[in-house]
Structure 1
Amino acid sequence: MLVNVTKESLLHALQHVLKAVVANSPNPILSGIHIQAYEKALVFTASNTSMTIQYRVPEDKDSMNVQRTGGIVVPARYLSEIIRRLHAGWIACESEEPFILSITSGDSHVRLCGLDPAEFPPVHSPFTDAEPACKFHIQNDVLRSAIRQVCVAASTSDSRPVLTGVSFEFTGGNLSLMATDGIRFASRTLHTGYNINNGTNVIVPAKNINEIVKMLSDDKAATEIAVSRHQISFTANELHVQSVLIEGVFPSAVKNVIPQSCKSELLIGPYGFLQAVERVSVLAGGNIIRLTAASGKLVLLSGTADIGEVRDEISLEAMEGDDFTIALNGRFLLDILRCLDSGSLRVRYTGKESPVVILTTDPLSPALFLITPVRTHD
């Protein structure tokens, strides 16, 4: 392998694939990055068995040219640290001896001991087990927004693995995303515009999909999503990411806990609501804040016995139904409010021990959240 590539192009590729590198893996090959030079492209791949990231640098006279094809796996940490410290401009990467990568930049010369690329986990593209159950495109800004909103409710505990993921359910050309940790529930429906196989339902690890959407740069571009029996893939321009799926069935009963009626409904501007919750959360003992809705206003209270208390008040855009007071976990509420994009919110009070329902009012991007109240002595 002999490739000339600019430092900028190298770093851009590395910053993507490093997200999948296992720092202290018992399998040394997973602590490395697979570099493969083809006739017209240089491809970087990293894998942690749960997620595989591949980034392609196409041949271009201003940034990369391949003089000899070949491949090698090199230690990710050392490669990235070395490249960051080299001078800007062209870098020559060559592997003549078996599993040795020579890096030359100006007067700097580095030799890295590598590993056999044949031992690196393969990237299955196209899918090897079967044709994808469904394949479609979603605009990046829409996908990023939906994932941010739903992932806030995913569990971080491994006691129930299915709850650490996001459910992808395809029905009637729509994609429904859902997640819950038993205390919170979030859902978002996306209109794909594609004739997708009904009944396809998979669970994607929330930590993987969070990393994937962070790598999507061009908001107006679209990402191709392909789902098979054992994995899901995301392809956007030169980036290709594969994630395993979580085995099991997402609890269908969570849909049944969504209250169908309410005692009160508030219409609130999200920005003012967010700011008020941030202020009262500073002194919230046990993260508990109290919300009281009455007379067209929402009063927020919190306090810690040995430090002090906070009272805040915001005006409501509209209110229907009875006055009420309820206690919520302020951190959980903040997680929801911080992932919302724009538009007013509908907050529905369904009872002192029933979930609070939060709905976005944008008909093009409907999102629903549930948050369970906190039981208090008063």
Structure 2
Amino acid sequence: MRSLFVQVTKDSLLNALQHVLRAVSANSPIPILSGINIQAQEGGLMLSASNTSLTIESRISPDNIDLQRTGEIVVPARYFNEIIRKLNAGLITLEVKEHLMLFVTSGGSQIRLCGMDSAEFPSIRNTEGYYANKLQINNALLKSTIKQVAVAASTSEARRVLTGVSLEYKDDALSLTATDGVRLASRTLSIERNPGANVNIVIPGKNLIELTKMLQDEEASTEIEIGVGQIRFTTNELQVQSALIEGTFPSITRLIPKSYLSEIRVETDCLLHAVERVSVLASGNIVRLGVVSNRLELRSKTSEIGDVQDEMPIESRTGGDFNISLNSKYFIDLLRCIESEYVKVRFTGKTSPIVALPTEEQSSSLFLVSPVITGE
């Protein structure tokens, strides 16, 4: 029986493709996960991909396609993407004429692409009532929060729960937290939600980072739905479903210093650029920060190559002078996440983390970086 006949513009198809390609399993031992599922239906043309941890569906609305016959097929993602990218601009016809064979036609070009049966392809869970907890958040705010927090997630699988971002929702406060044991990033937002139980889950950090790359319409909102072992994000014509990480995320309460010895307030960009300059000759990425009077001194060195010294003014300070060594890469990552013009840096002891607090954000953000013990 003949199935699937749809016409769509190259631009519309490419836009949807760029989203779903983020979830393709290039080296998966399961062949179907290296493909893209193409589903033509009355509700539009749906493209989807999955690596089991992350599933992405991108829909092209009925207004932007000419649907002749419904149907679906899975095609190799790599080849389908290359074919569509190299076709001339204009209308593209997708048609299944033979069993598991997709014909792609545009102008004088015709390509036959062997496909796979869609029956085994993983799909996003749409069962009514499956997602018990729901909330909405502005795309720009969600994107900003994830970027600030996910940078602190671990890249090592030694403790898998630390590769994730903790999402906790209680009393209309949404908190996202990540830590790799050396640094920590946390942000709390005040958001109303639909009735539901309190939430405490861990989402793979890399999946959240992929989500931020797809939140292009920053004026729109994303609906977040949480089910058993899964979380789903829906915005415009896009659905992103992520598996959750099992395990208990460590309590951050004991990690955050209760008091501090000194605090300085400096321009965020000035501090970032100073650390970047000093890090050029930082052996082992170690930079030394010191507060003397009304200035911040930074220095680093590499044996047999040279050393760097820099300084910058302090806007305000409380407490005494201090010196501390930090991993410059981690400190730079932290500073790049801070969107406010000024940042407060708190010194809590030579062997305790420094605390960085943005000064002009309406939400509660907090960053920690543990010191490097050098003997100086």
Return the alpha-carbon distance in structure 2 between the equivalents of residues 239 and 97 of structure 1: 30
In the alignment, residue 329 of structure 1 is paired with which amino acid? N
Q: What is the 5 A alignment of 1:234-253?
A: 234-252=233-251
Instruction: Identify the residue that residue 57 of structure 1 maps to in structure 2.
Output: 60
**Over residues 85-137 of structure 1, what are the superposed CA-to-partner deviations in whole Å (9 max), with x where a residue is unaligned?**
1110001110021110001111101000000011111221136xx53231111
Instruction: Identify the residue that residue 215 of structure 1 maps to in structure 2.
Output: 214
SS in structure 1 of the partner of residue 89 of structure 2 = coil
Q: What is the 5 A alignment of 1:348-359?
A: 348-359=346-357
Aligned residues: 373
Return the alpha-carbon distance in structure 2 between the equivalents of residues 229 and 100 of structure 1: 37
In the alignment, residue 317 of structure 2 is paired with which amino acid? M
Instruction: Identify the residue that residue 41 of structure 1 maps to in structure 2.
Output: 44
CA contact (8 A) 2:340 2:359 kept: no
CA contact (8 A) 2:137 2:223 kept: yes
Gaps of 5+ in 2: none
Runs of 4+, deviation exceeding 2 Å: 130-133, 193-199
**Over residues 46-101 of structure 1, what are the superposed CA-to-partner deviations in whole Å (9 max), with x where a residue is unaligned?**
000000000000122xx421111110000000000001111100011100211100
SS in structure 1 of the partner of residue 98 of structure 2 = coil
Deviation of 1:2 after TM superposition, in Å, equals 0.4
In the alignment, residue 199 of structure 1 is paired with which amino acid? N
Instruction: Identify the residue that residue 152 of structure 2 maps to in structure 1.
Output: 153
CA contact (8 A) 2:7 2:91 kept: yes
Instruction: Identify the residue that residue 375 of structure 2 maps to in structure 1.
Output: 377
Instruction: Identify the residue that residue 281 of structure 1 maps to in structure 2.
Output: 279
Could you say if the C-alpha distance between residues 88 and 228 of structure 1 is closer, same or farther in structure 2, counting changes exceeding 3 Å? same
Instruction: Identify the residue that residue 331 of structure 2 maps to in structure 1.
Output: 333
Instruction: Identify the residue that residue 8 of structure 1 maps to in structure 2.
Output: 11
CA contact (8 A) 1:172 1:198 kept: no
Return the alpha-carbon distance in structure 2 between the equivalents of residues 363 and 94 of structure 1: 51
Instruction: Identify the residue that residue 162 of structure 1 maps to in structure 2.
Output: 161
In the alignment, residue 114 of structure 1 is paired with which amino acid? G
Instruction: Identify the residue that residue 179 of structure 1 maps to in structure 2.
Output: 178
Return the alpha-carbon distance in structure 2 between the equivalents of residues 145 and 111 of structure 1: 43
Deviation of 1:195 after TM superposition, in Å, equals 5.3
CA-based RMSD? 1.2
Q: Please state if 1:19 is matched with 2:22.
A: yes
Return the alpha-carbon distance in structure 1 between the equivalents of residues 85 and 130 of structure 2: 40
Deviation of 1:198 after TM superposition, in Å, equals 5.0
CA contact (8 A) 2:55 2:123 kept: no
Q: What is the 5 A alignment of 1:283-362?
A: 283-362=281-360
SS in structure 1 of the partner of residue 124 of structure 2 = coil
Return the alpha-carbon distance in structure 2 between the equivalents of residues 3 and 286 of structure 1: 57
Deviation of 1:285 after TM superposition, in Å, equals 0.5
Gaps of 5+ in 1: none
Return the alpha-carbon distance in structure 2 between the equivalents of residues 120 and 316 of structure 1: 57
Return the alpha-carbon distance in structure 2 between the equivalents of residues 275 and 40 of structure 1: 50
CA contact (8 A) 1:7 1:91 kept: yes
SS in structure 2 of the partner of residue 160 of structure 1 = helix
Return the alpha-carbon distance in structure 1 between the equivalents of residues 295 and 318 of structure 2: 12
Instruction: Identify the residue that residue 67 of structure 1 maps to in structure 2.
Output: 68
SS in structure 1 of the partner of residue 254 of structure 2 = helix
Return the alpha-carbon distance in structure 2 between the equivalents of residues 343 and 142 of structure 1: 17
What is the percentage of aligned positions where both structures have the same residue?
A: 54
Q: 2:266 aligns with which of 265, 268, 282?
A: 268
Return the alpha-carbon distance in structure 2 between the equivalents of residues 272 and 349 of structure 1: 19
Return the alpha-carbon distance in structure 2 between the equivalents of residues 195 and 313 of structure 1: 50
Return the alpha-carbon distance in structure 2 between the equivalents of residues 205 and 58 of structure 1: 30
Return the alpha-carbon distance in structure 1 between the equivalents of residues 195 and 320 of structure 2: 43
CA contact (8 A) 1:171 1:197 kept: no
CA contact (8 A) 1:170 1:197 kept: no
In the alignment, residue 30 of structure 1 is paired with which amino acid? L
Instruction: Identify the residue that residue 91 of structure 2 maps to in structure 1.
Output: 90
Compute the TM-score of the two structures, normalised by the length of structure 2. Answer: 0.97
SS in structure 2 of the partner of residue 256 of structure 1 = coil
Return the alpha-carbon distance in structure 1 between the equivalents of residues 108 and 250 of structure 2: 60
Deviation of 1:196 after TM superposition, in Å, equals 5.4
Instruction: Identify the residue that residue 143 of structure 1 maps to in structure 2.
Output: 142
CA contact (8 A) 1:171 1:196 kept: no
CA contact (8 A) 1:133 1:200 kept: no
Could you say if the C-alpha distance between residues 224 and 370 of structure 1 is closer, same or farther in structure 2, counting changes exceeding 3 Å? same
**Over residues 188-239 of structure 1, what are the superposed CA-to-partner deviations in whole Å (9 max), with x where a residue is unaligned?**
0011122554531000000001001111001111111111121001101000
